[in-house]
Structure 1
Amino acid sequence: MNINHIVQNLFQENLFSNKALELRDGQLVYGKLTKLFPQQMAEVQIGSQKMFANLTIPLMVDQSYWFQVSVTDDKPVLKVLTQVQEVSAEKGNIKGLLQQLQLPDVKENRLLMSYLLSNNLPITKESIMSIMEWLPSSLGKQELSIIGLMLERELPLTKEVFNSLSSLQTGKGFSALIEELKQQLSAHEIKEPNLNNLLSSLREGGNIGEENNVDILKAIFQKIGYSFEAGLLKRAPMGEEQASNQEMLKPILLELMGKDVPVAVKETAGQLIDKVTGYQLMSQQTGPIMQVIAEIPLRFFNQQVDVTVQYNGRKTTDGKVDSSYCRILFYLELAHLKDTVIDITIQNRIMNMSILNDRASEIMPMIKQADEPLKDKLRELEYQLMSVHARPLTKEDKPLWSSQQPIQVKAYKGVDIKI
């Protein structure tokens, strides 16, 4: 269960989640007219869901049609696509759909359209054309799942976003990249004091188990630059902003990319930038609900490890993180215990903790020994620890990252759609 495996699970879970149908402006949908009613009313089935529609043109029962969605006054209106006489409009006929959209009938386009259709992902002519500008020639399952996630989360359909998300499924972890860049700077005698100091600080990390674990995590998040763009929005005074940027890895690396340094150095720096950006894109906030996903280098019992942290919770009315209700998961690959997940659930400051590891039976006696000291320590922080359990990892123990829900059209009464 390394980081690549975790993120691959995330991408697949997003695409195969069973969600209610949400119609977006410009989206193409394939629906079947199932019933006709008086006053030009009809029942249309789109996927597994049925909607009422007001017919403005004659359609035949038990026939399927391609429709394009137009959202007017928060109500989705479906327009039947003009059919090309010699091409069937069947959902499985990718060639026919490409022809109707006036898009090239090439292998990559057929693979992309087939994948999006089979996973019920939103399709618009504009989004497909944007993707085609940078669509990889070697289009496999991994590339398609990333594109699907970009559409699902309504991320910008650019090559830069694609590369950042790709970096989470492939490549090296933070610790390896930090060490590699530090060695390259030394080998090429590149004088970057701020960067060297920051890389050394991150490589040393913090030793989890010390008294100031929370401060350690906060400091590492800050040093990596996960909040870099958010900090820019605060419009700090120029001098303070520049000083702060020199303490963050991401802005320093962005500055390095504009300098005359060897290609190998830029490649490693670029991989680190992509990794930070990828996790920023995976984190999200919808109203008061927030989700943070990040990878950070830490030290556990003098062993350097890359830890993936997932925080699910909400913000209070004053904009602060609500520490009374949340869920935090740590995904680790330890030297001796190997794959380990620490799952912490907090409800009204009452905490339950699960440790998932294939050596759960060996770990449980050690947990019992540390149970009372842990309860005492948490009590000082005004938390009550109810239970700590250990159990083996299973295939079902996948990350709980969920896709960002697309903006829904507002609820209304009466006709669902107008055709």
Structure 2
Amino acid sequence: MFQSEMISSMNRGLQTSENRSLALRPGQMFQGMITKLYPGQTAQLQAGNMTLTAQLEAQLETGRQYWFRVQAGDGMPRLQVMEQVRSNPQGDQQQSQRSQILQQLGLQAGGPHEQLLRHFQQTSQPFTQTDLASGARLLQQSGLPAHHSLQLISRLVNEQLPLTRETFQALAALQHPQSMGETMHALHESLAQSSSGGNESRGLQQILGSLLQQTNSSKQIEPVRQLFNALLTGENSVRTQAEQVLRETGIMRAKESAEQFFSRIQAEAVKPENRAPMQQTFPQLFQGQSGNQVFNAMKPANVFTMLMNAAGPDQPEGLTQMLRLINPDTAPQQVFEQLDRLMQQRNHSASPLLQMIHEQQTDRELLFLQRGQGQDTAQLRMFLQQLGLQHEHDLRIGLNDLQQSREAGQRIETLKGQLLHFLQNQANQTPQTIQQAEFLLQRLTGFQIASQEQQHPVQHLLFQVPFKFGEQYSDITMQWEGKRTKEGYLDEDHCRIMFYLELAAIRDTMVDVQIQNRVVSLTIFNQMEKPEQLQRMFEPILAKRLEETGYKLSSVRWKQPDNTPANDNNNPDVQTEKRKRQNYKGVDVRI
């Protein structure tokens, strides 16, 4: 829930004050009040939080509300007073005016039309007849609470986005508390269990598996894979070290040799009670033949090798299932934690092997955050490309460019492209699977809308990365703010990055990273008390890691916010910031 509230708050704050100015278009209507009269037939007009300087060509009274319509013309916009909208002294003045406007526009009085018009009136938001008609239709179709729907429609109108069901649902998906990581995992599992999937299902399942594997927070499964590989193919000394570590983590039993270990796995794999989970995790081993018969006829080491090959990098659940098979009484997470502790021991007798695994682990984690050089693409950058946040742009580059990309081996299948293809060919799929795919597609489209190119130099990017902490998938919401270089890359020297996390131990957390001339200052917002000991322990490590990548750590601050984003209406600091954002510099118009 925390991240959905933060995303909603970020969406409202993505635009700067320049982008929040009143952009009037012909045909729009809005309500405003004359606040001051000046010599020379000029006046000050108040429309919500925005103040306009206007040239009067009609006798208007100070302190009165008027309805205005924007007229077409060159130069500064011209406003016409809607004389037909008059007050009714014997009834509700505001409701009377709304009824008159709906009657003039040929729209039905009452219902969603009047509800949306009342919202536009209260917020002094300019709108057109089409905005009102299309917005009312969305309001009627929406299953969200009315105030959420009205806010979403206002944003669509304000940013001149299409008032369609697709754009509405995309923005609504950003505010939904459903976890993107959990949905990706659930959809991947549903596709793996489905017996009716074609090429569309397999393509979607493959890219989901690849993305989920990349976002395993500490790549906990990979050190186990390396130990198994060392046990299979390592030299005698390396194999001995691997056996020792596997015994200490509980994967191998005490005094159990590698051959006995392989035989035990073979025996477990052919047990009747293990057939269902094995067939579910390794369906490719059970196609058109009996897995038990095949396993019985093979040497134990070959069975182990086959399982290892089936549990490839894009199938992390396969190796986890092997750990459950080896020792059903020990949770895989306990194995991961014990192995991580062993890798931190510098005086361990198997130190050379553990040190090598630990260094490779660190390199993979750093690669996820660094941009590659030349033909090497950074893992984070590749991950965002695989999500498909530039899917439509890639479709517009033309057939020639696509052909060149194929020839260069640069064609990247995207999650959004696979989701679109899957939903267009969704025969024989369960409603739950379709719903999960639709939510992911809407969430990705919502991030694209939120990160659309801005007209001013500062650009904002908003996206979400699913991460796995232990056995639980969570989401890391990231907002990047800065400029692009001439080459089109994000400026790494001057930018601001915000991370929004929901962590198991310290709960809701926001990390604000500000970078100027490659000098980094961090501010961590969390409701808990500052962990002084942990900060003293990890701050030098953070400074060293940043220095290795060309950055200098300036400061790390811990702040406890007074209010959560859900209660920001009661926070004077937040309200002051909102007023700053909504401050309007003024524009000359003719009435």
TM-score bracket, shorter-length normalisation: 0.7 to 0.9
Alpha carbons of structure 1 residues 380 and 302: separation in structure 2 relative to 1, 3 Å: farther
- Separation in 2, partners of 1:63, 1:231: 52
* Greater shift in the superposed pair: 342-351 or 264-273: 264-273
**Displacement of 1:295:** 1.1
Alpha carbons of structure 1 residues 256 and 125: separation in structure 2 relative to 1, 3 Å: same
Does the 8 Å CA contact 2:503/2:509 hold for their aligned counterparts? yes
- Pairs within 5 Å for 1:17-416: 20-33=21-34, 41-47=41-47, 49-55=51-57, 57=58, 59=60, 63-83=64-84, 93-137=97-141, 140-170=146-176, 172-189=178-195, 190-191=197-198, 192-206=201-215, 207=217, 210-214=365-369, 215-235=378-398, 236-238=401-403, 240=405, 247-259=413-425, 260-264=427-431, 265-286=433-454, 287-300=456-469, 304-362=473-531, 364-395=532-563, 416=588
- Separation in 2, partners of 1:166, 1:366: 38
**Displacement of 1:397:** 6.2
**Displacement of 1:90:** 5.3
Amino acid at match of 1:258: Q
| SS of residue paired to 1:351 | strand
- 1:308-327 deviations in whole A, cap 9, x for unaligned? 11101111234322111111
- 1:215-261 deviations in whole A, cap 9, x for unaligned? 34223212211122222233322474698666211101101111124
Q: Does 1:418 align with 2:590?
A: yes
The aligned residue for residue 9 of structure 1 is 9
- Separation in 2, partners of 1:83, 1:283: 41
Amino acid at match of 1:134: L
Alpha carbons of structure 1 residues 83 and 177: separation in structure 2 relative to 1, 3 Å: same
Alpha carbons of structure 1 residues 296 and 80: separation in structure 2 relative to 1, 3 Å: same
Does the 8 Å CA contact 2:6/2:565 hold for their aligned counterparts? no
Does the 8 Å CA contact 1:288/1:316 hold for their aligned counterparts? no
- Separation in 2, partners of 1:273, 1:244: 23
- Max radius of gyration: which structure? 2
| SS of residue paired to 1:212 | helix
Alpha carbons of structure 1 residues 293 and 85: separation in structure 2 relative to 1, 3 Å: closer
| SS of residue paired to 1:9 | helix
Alpha carbons of structure 1 residues 54 and 288: separation in structure 2 relative to 1, 3 Å: same
Amino acid at match of 1:68: R
Does the 8 Å CA contact 2:386/2:412 hold for their aligned counterparts? no
Does the 8 Å CA contact 1:31/1:44 hold for their aligned counterparts? no
Does the 8 Å CA contact 2:500/2:511 hold for their aligned counterparts? yes
- 1:69-101 deviations in whole A, cap 9, x for unaligned? 125223010112240679689556322322232
Amino acid at match of 2:537: Q
Alpha carbons of structure 1 residues 35 and 376: separation in structure 2 relative to 1, 3 Å: closer
Aligned residues: 408
**Displacement of 1:153:** 2.0
| SS of residue paired to 1:332 | strand
Does the 8 Å CA contact 2:53/2:586 hold for their aligned counterparts? no
Does the 8 Å CA contact 2:179/2:474 hold for their aligned counterparts? no
Alpha carbons of structure 1 residues 216 and 334: separation in structure 2 relative to 1, 3 Å: farther
How many percent identity over aligned positions? 26
Does the 8 Å CA contact 1:67/1:80 hold for their aligned counterparts? yes
- 1:112-142 deviations in whole A, cap 9, x for unaligned? 1111221222211121122234332566111
Alpha carbons of structure 1 residues 66 and 198: separation in structure 2 relative to 1, 3 Å: same
| SS of residue paired to 1:72 | coil
Alpha carbons of structure 1 residues 60 and 304: separation in structure 2 relative to 1, 3 Å: closer
Amino acid at match of 1:211: L
Amino acid at match of 2:382: A
The aligned residue for residue 266 of structure 2 is none
Unaligned runs of 5+ in 2: 219-361, 370-377, 569-573
- Separation in 1, partners of 2:475, 2:528: 20
**Displacement of 1:64:** 3.7
- Separation in 1, partners of 2:126, 2:14: 13
* Greater shift in the superposed pair: 4-13 or 158-167: 4-13
- Separation in 2, partners of 1:368, 1:345: 21
- Separation in 2, partners of 1:195, 1:37: 65
More strand by share: 1
* Greater shift in the superposed pair: 258-267 or 333-342: 258-267
Alpha carbons of structure 1 residues 257 and 239: separation in structure 2 relative to 1, 3 Å: farther
Structure 1 length normalisation: TM-score? 0.85
Amino acid at match of 2:380: L
